[in-house]
Amino acid sequence: MLRRAADGTAFVGGAAIRQLAAGAVLPEREVMVALLQDGIWPERFRRNYGVFSADAMVRLLQTRVFVLGCGGLGGHVASLLARLGVGGLRLCDSDIFEESNLNRQYFCTESTLGQPKAAVTARGLHDMAGHLALDVRHVEADEKNLPDMLQGMDAALDCLDDLALKMLLEERSAAAGVPFVHGSVLRAEGFARAARSGRLHLRELYASGLTGEEAGSARHEGVIATAPAGVACLMVSLCLRLLLRPDAGDSALFHADLSVPELERFEF
């Protein structure tokens, strides 16, 4: 049942964890938490060992994250969070996969065209991490339903392409005391930033806003696969910082240009 590493650390496989969970009538992630607290690591997290402590893994498994948008950024973000060990994800997207999404959106395949992005993403995540608690909302986020969707969340990740909705999520996250991670992509570049303080960074970044014509144009500009994949890694790294370091404050603004490639950091 147990396998031991050279340093004596014990690891247990998924089949044994599922058997324990069934016998105890408990969710798999709760069994994983109990094992980690006894110094026994789930085999699926063997390569996390040495990077994260057992306490950090327990914290991740007990964490719930809200991902708004399940397209280019959101699919990559959700996949990374699931593989890292986050215990619960709330996914929201009202859109369906279209053929033009195939070039960059993680869960978009030829067989999922025309299907709801949030539901397809949830299915993919369940195959990836069966212990993951998933809450799927196939609705359009707005001022009325965002407070409910933020309830009980440990972080909110902005994976949207609509500036007004990005700002609304930031505002509602601040009001709810939920740490907020911003991400945006265009062409082969993008931005990421994390905030815990409640300061409305997007209001400062986009002080002049965008006209309706500009916003529509931006949503139809080119975006290649490297941009959402790269920026998603930045967003999830910033999210981990907030989740695992209670003393971590607001981050810098990071700009990634994958065409060079280069990473810039801005303080303001």
HEC readout, 29-52: HHHHHHHHHCCEEEHHHHHHECCE
- DSSP letter, residue 116: B
pLDDT bucket at 227, cuts 50 / 70 / 90 = very high
Rounded to the nearest integer, the mean pLDDT of the chain is 94
219 pLDDT higher than 70: no
pLDDT of residue 76: 99
128 pLDDT higher than 70: yes
214 pLDDT higher than 70: no
183 pLDDT higher than 50: yes
Q: Any alpha helices (H) in the chain, and if so which ranges?
A: 14-24, 28-37, 54-61, 72-84, 117-128, 146-150, 163-176, 201-205, 212-219, 226-244
Q: Where in the chain is the domain with CATH 3.40.50.720?
A: 63-266
CATH superfamily, domain at 63-266: NAD(P)-binding Rossmann-like Domain (3.40.50.720)
229 pLDDT higher than 80: yes
pLDDT of residue 217: 47
Phi-psi region of 119 (alpha: psi -120 to 50; beta: other; left: phi over 0): alpha
pLDDT of residue 204: 85
Q: d(Cα 208, Cα 20) in Å, to the nearest integer? A: 56
Least confident of 18-22, 180-184, 202-206, 252-256: 202-206
Average pLDDT over residues 10-34: 97
pLDDT of residue 170: 98
Bridge partners (DSSP) of residue 209 are: none
Residues whose CB is less than 8 angstroms from the CB of residue 66 and which lie 6 or more positions away in sequence, other chains included: 89, 90, 92, 149, 150, 153, 155, 156, 157, 178
